[in-house]
Amino acid sequence: MNKNQHPKILKSVEKKFNKGKSQSWKNKDFEDLSFRIHQKTKVLISVATLKRLFKKVKTSDSYSPQESTIGALIDYADYQEVSKTLNLKWLYVALPFIAIIIGTLFILSNKQNQVPKQEASMGKLKLLKLEGKCPTTAFFEFTIPKGQDTASIDFGDKTKRIPIKDQKQISHFYAYPGYFEAVLLSGKQKKSEHVKIIAPTEGWLAMSHYFKEDQDGRYYPIPLSQNQKNGIFHATPKHLNSLGIDTSKIVEVRLDNFQSTNFSGDSFQYKTKFKNRSFWPAIRCFSVYLSITGTDGSVLFKFVNEGCSTYGEYIIGEKSGDGRSEDLSRFVMNQNNWMNVTIVNENKTIVVTANDSIVFSDNYQKSIGKIIGTTLLFHGSGSVDYIHLTSANNQSVFCADFNE
């Protein structure tokens, strides 16, 4: 690439970033620019590299950035003059491969058309009714596929699959609230359509359980009224121990509210204020999950303490990511301080703010459907000031202020 084009590209980046002249940028500005470029292009340019490019640190005249770096800057700034040249270049390179792919698909399509389709025998799984609001028992009716003596049902809550044979009906106990999909299986093959189940709550429900225990393990209900003080919810280790929980083990505490609504999951505002404990036996990486569940998908963000960002993660519709494959250090929290987190979803565009700093922004395509629940989950037992989930027109969906 012609070096004479570099200043033009950097000028376009400066204009796109819209924070004044680059000469006046501070370290935080370069961190923000690195984050925004990564969000848009999925290419991570370090702060040090950006400072070299914008002449904030002394660099030799022979210094030349990698092509991937320049390409990311071009994509971020929508620098058309260079983009057109690059796109044309890559088009010439890609044309032979595109022709091979199209030819292969054509051959495979012809082969499929020549072989008559033999659809695998399918069974049926039907939800008859639900009993209770967490705990919830679901009653199912099913038909095993023809020609098979046995099958199994995956109830969608990570419990063990239940083998079925002669009976025509079966019930299942859902120990915790949520949205689940049950399916009839033969081995690992799907043998029925998925059946969707909402295990609802009666308002807000607090529960505790052991970390990564078999999902058939016990879930301990936590009385909200006994763990609220001055508008703060916090289940102390002493109180958890009084419920029969061994607090020397890794414990999770969760707050849920699940029920059917007519509010869109693609436009909402979620606000919460929380603080995790700075110590719990056996825990090194403290985590807080914030999730909004819809009938067709979910929005989830996992915050962690410093040094543990490899365990951070997110889900927005059909997209997901984790700290093993992305830099999610912006999801790091200080357990000793309160975190004010806002998740704004505006027509499938998500912006997450933590203590007034944008830590995530991206969009998704597949609708998550109607909102049916929200969960805040701690590794350990943290404190929550409030949870406010409101609709696009500011109507209350699921809100809690934890006043006694």
Question: Among 117-131, 241-255, 389-403, which stretch is predicted with the lowest mean pLDDT?
Answer: 117-131
What is the number of domains present in the chain?
A: 3
Q: Which of the four pLDDT bands, split at 50, 70 and 90, describes residue 116?
A: very low
Determine the pLDDT at residue 253: 94
Q: Check residues 59 and 97 and name the one with the higher pLDDT.
A: 59
Q: Check residues 384 and 150 and name the one with the higher pLDDT.
A: 384
- Determine the Cα angle at 291 with ends 286 and 295, to 5°: 150
Cβ pair 267, 345 in contact under 8 A: yes
Determine the pLDDT at residue 285: 85
For residue 119, pLDDT over 80 is answered with: no
Q: How many CA atoms lie within 13 A of 375 on its CB side?
A: 24
Q: Are residues 267 and 350 in the same domain?
A: yes
* Residues 111, 117, 121, 124, CA torsion sign: positive
Q: What is the DSSP string of 187-227?
A: TTEE-S--EEEEE--SS-EEEEEETT--TTS--EEE-GGGG
CB crowding 232-247: b at 16 or more within 10 Å, else e = bbbbebebbeeeebeb
Determine the pLDDT at residue 227: 92
Determine the pLDDT at residue 6: 77
Which of residues 62, 92, 118 is at a domain's end?
118
Rounded CA-CA distance 2/346 in Å is 40
Which of residues 118, 139, 162 is at a domain's end?
118
Domain range enclosing 30 = 1-118
For residue 46, pLDDT over 60 is answered with: yes
Average pLDDT of span 197-210:
94
Q: Are residues 110 and 129 in the same domain?
A: no
Cβ pair 16, 89 in contact under 8 A: no
Q: Which of the four pLDDT bands, split at 50, 70 and 90, describes residue 108?
A: low
Q: How many CA atoms lie within 13 A of 302 on its CB side?
A: 19
Average pLDDT of span 293-309:
95
Q: Are residues 211 and 358 in the same domain?
A: yes
Q: Check residues 221 and 43 and name the one with the higher pLDDT.
A: 221
For residue 1, pLDDT over 50 is answered with: no
Q: Are residues 190 and 210 in the same domain?
A: no
Q: Which of the four pLDDT bands, split at 50, 70 and 90, describes residue 288?
A: very high
For residue 368, pLDDT over 80 is answered with: yes
Q: What is the CATH number of the domain that holds 145?
A: 2.60.40.10
Q: Are residues 155 and 59 in the same domain?
A: no
Q: Are residues 226 and 141 in the same domain?
A: no
Q: Are residues 254 and 221 in the same domain?
A: yes
Q: Are residues 100 and 129 in the same domain?
A: no
Rounded CA-CA distance 70/201 in Å is 52
Rounded CA-CA distance 200/399 in Å is 16
Which of residues 53, 88, 118 is at a domain's end?
118
Q: How many CA atoms lie within 13 A of 46 on its CB side?
A: 5
Q: What is the CATH number of the domain that holds 242?
A: 2.60.120.200
For residue 82, pLDDT over 50 is answered with: no
pLDDT in tens, 130-147: 999 999 999 999 988 877
Determine the pLDDT at residue 218: 86
In 236-303, where does DSSP find H-type helix? 237-242
Residue in 68, 61, 45, 53 with CA at minimum distance from that of residue 14: 53
Average pLDDT of span 51-70:
80
User: At 152, which amino acid appears?
Assistant: S
Average pLDDT of span 381-398:
95
Q: Which of the four pLDDT bands, split at 50, 70 and 90, describes residue 117?
A: very low
Determine the pLDDT at residue 95: 60
Q: Are residues 247 and 375 in the same domain?
A: yes
Cβ pair 312, 292 in contact under 8 A: no
Mean pLDDT taken over the chain:
86
The backbone torsions φ and ψ at residue 28, rounded to the nearest 5 degrees and listed phi first, read: -60, -35
Q: Check residues 143 and 201 and name the one with the higher pLDDT.
A: 201
Q: Are residues 236 and 371 in the same domain?
A: yes
Determine the pLDDT at residue 115: 39
Determine the pLDDT at residue 298: 96
Determine the pLDDT at residue 83: 45
**How far, in Å, are 37, 183, 201, 327, 375 from residue 136 at the CA level?**
46, 18, 9, 39, 17
For residue 120, pLDDT over 70 is answered with: no
Cβ pair 389, 400 in contact under 8 A: no
Q: How many CA atoms lie within 13 A of 271 on its CB side?
A: 12
Q: Are residues 36 and 101 in the same domain?
A: yes
User: At 403, which amino acid appears?
Assistant: N
Q: Are residues 218 and 305 in the same domain?
A: yes
